[in-house]
Amino acid sequence: MAQPTATFDAYSAIGQREDLMDVIYEISPTETPFMSNAARTTAKAVLHEWQTDALAAASTANAQIEGDDIAGITAVPTVRVGNRLQISRKSVVISGTLDAVDKAGRARETSYQVAKMGRELKRDMESILLSANQAETGSAATARAMGGIETWISTNVTVDTDNTTGTTPGLVGGLPISSPTDGTATAIDETIFKSVISDIWTEGGDPRMIMCGAGQKSKISGFGGISTLFKNIPQGQATIVAGADLYVSDFGEHQIVPNRFMRNRTVLFLDMEFWAVAYLRPIHKIDLAKTGDSEKAALLVEYTLVGRNEASSGKLPDLT
């Protein structure tokens, strides 16, 4: 079929109104499982410090003679540890004209961009807290950086026997100043997975949360110790369940939590009672000095990761 001669159509007409929906669709994820589950505390200096301690090993030789004099035993001091506070920020400059014109999906551009920056800043924070191989540093010429969680966890680290190059130095002088190095990547398996849980339990931890990227989540779902949780599935509806929410080990139940902002080559076994985020300055908006026909704003946060006792948790690094 052909259009009749001299047909005046929408391709030629002038003055048609724009059909632009008054909605902005955003797909970028904003869930931050680690920050959401970590405790929130307050810092008062740019180097945030705390103390850790552990009981002496249990002894089967603790038998004493009746009436014996009691000799003094040298006490073991606590360990002082800490982490550097990091400043993260986002900023924007919006012209006065853009704020004033009629826009689809938002009233003031400045308000929309500030709200967007808030979501972006939370994503940055989650990535930094879970960061790989980021050590504590900072000087007058270098921005302060906190030691990320992969730098902190060093006691319960299990690697495949094929891994001969990866290292996790742990704390030096109570600070996470030496970054781990990646080793040869190998496939995850349930044997080494269970080994980390066992090691943590022996140390006294209770890793109820196991955090991983999408690739490792899929592989863990195939383990034999998986107990899938079914929620609100309508009766009579055909359902295929291929994901795992819960792993049941000899030492309890462990929630499997996927996290988009951590490396896929690492699985973290976390006792969240021992992890916190300390804030010197929580996320807040700063209205910057007006120097012309524009609005300037920034969002800023000063914070650090607190590993109350890293032996409470563990990690499986260097996974394909």
DSSP state of 28: -
For range 291-300, the mean pLDDT: 93
For range 4-28, the mean pLDDT: 76
Asked if residues 310 and 272 have their Cβ atoms less than 8 Å apart, the reply is no
Residue 6: which pLDDT band, with cuts at 50, 70 and 90? confident
What pLDDT does 244 receive? 62
Which residues make beta-bridge pairs with 301? 88
Cα 79-80-81 angle, rounded to 5 deg: 115
pLDDT digits (tens, 9 = 90+) for 228-254: 555 555 555 555 455 568 889 999 999
Q: Could you tell me the two tokens for 172?
A: 């030096």
Nearest Cα neighbor of 211 from 315, 318, 320 is 315
Whether residue 14 has pLDDT greater than 90: no
What pLDDT does 227 receive? 65
What pLDDT does 78 receive? 93
Residue 282: which pLDDT band, with cuts at 50, 70 and 90? very high
Of 225 and 295, which is predicted with more confidence? 295
Residue 82: which pLDDT band, with cuts at 50, 70 and 90? very high
Asked if residues 274 and 205 have their Cβ atoms less than 8 Å apart, the reply is yes
pLDDT digits (tens, 9 = 90+) for 103-131: 888 888 888 989 999 999 999 999 999 98
For range 201-223, the mean pLDDT: 93
Residue 161: which pLDDT band, with cuts at 50, 70 and 90? low
Q: How do 156-157 and 314-316 pair as beta strands? A: parallel
Asked if residues 152 and 176 have their Cβ atoms less than 8 Å apart, the reply is yes
What pLDDT does 206 receive? 96
Nearest Cα neighbor of 87 from 281, 285, 307, 297 is 281
Residue 262: which pLDDT band, with cuts at 50, 70 and 90? very high
What pLDDT does 81 receive? 94
Residue 255: which pLDDT band, with cuts at 50, 70 and 90? very high
pTM summary value? 0.86
Residue 139: which pLDDT band, with cuts at 50, 70 and 90? confident
Q: Could you tell me the two tokens for 112?
A: 């929309």
What pLDDT does 95 receive? 93
pLDDT digits (tens, 9 = 90+) for 87-106: 999 999 999 999 899 888 88
Nearest Cα neighbor of 49 from 19, 16, 78, 88 is 78
| C-alpha span between 318 and 159 (Å, rounded) | 7
Q: What is the dihedral of CA 139, 142, 143, 146, to 10 degrees?
A: -70
What pLDDT does 245 receive? 83
